Structure 1
Amino acid sequence: MLKKVLAIIFCSALTISCSYFNEADRKSAIPKIDTVVDFNRVDAYPLFPVCKDIPSRKKQQICFQLQMSQYIYAALKKYSLSTNQLINDTVFVKLKINALGKTSLSSIKISDKTKELLPEFDSLLKVSLLKLPVLSPAIKRNMPVTTEFTLPIILKN
């Protein structure tokens, strides 16, 4: 009789301690990971040091665009670009900001006439970009990422 009671207690203890009953709880504890990534948007834009303290994401984007335009225009203004013909053109400059915050030139879309009148424009632009400060890179899912954007530069004389 004592053997039967010990056998029942042993089997009960074995059944209660089994992890079989906890398996349903473990499955519900696993968080779902969002696997859909929108590669056209970032969580935070690249930032100049003066734009970091702005709380609104939209205002940070505006601050970044204004600062980038001011840096490029100020750098190009130092050079005397002269031509004997009238220029009224928009040059589209594609800039890349890598995950370390370094800015580089990806491409320049410039008309043939403007390129003929200002052949040194692209090299002056490259030199101007070298003088840009290191930026805070764009953030996607709490990781720094490389971003590209197009900056229109209007040339008039």
Structure 2
Amino acid sequence: MLKQFFSLLFGAFFVVSCAYFDHKSKSETIIAVDTIVDFNTVDAFPLFPNCEHIPSREKQQICFQMEMSQHIYAALKEHQLNAKDIVNDTVLVKLKVDNLGVTSLSGIKISEKTKELLPTFDSLVKISLQKLPTLQPAIKRAMPVTTEFTLPIILTNECLQVVVE
């Protein structure tokens, strides 16, 4: 009889303990993580202070492009770019806006001929970037992120054009 009592007691503990663990596993929270992240796009572009009030994402991008073009153009226009030969080239300037909004030069793709004709062009671009205000950084998933973009600068003897892509 005592043996049956202990067997019944052990069986009851076994059933209760299994139900306890089963109940505990049902109460755990399942966390799903979205692992598909498009690293080629951002939710919000870097912004100059006077572009922040624009509500549309597309118009903010246009405002950023226009402001960047105007700043670079004005800074380069301050310096005399004299060449002894005809200059007709597009220089690709790679810029980086870090997660704090600071703009820096990542690289310049310039032809050898243009580099010979305008040897100070690289340093003038660096100086013009130092004059840029601190930007509001790009946003991806509600976090500030570092972005890079290419600024094509069209050089001709008649005029200097700056176009942002």
User: Which of the five TM-score ranges fits, normalised by the shorter chain?
Assistant: 0.7 to 0.9
Bigger mean CA offset, 17-26 vs 97-106? 17-26
Aligned twin of 2:26: 24
Instruction: Report the TM-score, using the length of structure 2 for normalisation.
Output: 0.80
Gaps of 5+ in 2: 1-11, 158-165
Aligned twin of 1:5: none
How far apart in 2 are the matches of 1:59 and 1:32? Answer: 34
Bigger mean CA offset, 102-111 vs 17-26? 17-26
Residue 91 of structure 2 aligns to a residue whose secondary structure is strand
Q: Would you say how many aligned residue pairs link Structure 1 and Structure 2?
A: 147
The structural deviation recorded for 1:106 is 0.6
1:73-93 deviations in Å (ceiling 9; x for gaps): 010000011112111110000
Residue 40 of structure 1 aligns to a residue whose secondary structure is coil
1:31-70 → structure 2 map (5 Å cutoff): 31-70=31-70
C-alpha RMSD of matched pairs (Å): 2.3
The structural deviation recorded for 1:140 is 1.2
How far apart in 2 are the matches of 1:23 and 1:107? Answer: 54
How far apart in 1 are the matches of 2:150 and 2:100? Answer: 19
Gaps of 5+ in 1: 1-10
1:35-82 deviations in Å (ceiling 9; x for gaps): 111111111111001111111111111111111111000100000111
How far apart in 2 are the matches of 1:42 and 1:98? Answer: 13
Residue 136 of structure 2 aligns to a residue whose secondary structure is coil
Runs of 4+ in 1 over 4 A off after TM superposition: none
Aligned twin of 2:111: 111
Identity of aligned residues (%): 65
The structural deviation recorded for 1:143 is 1.1
Aligned twin of 1:91: 91
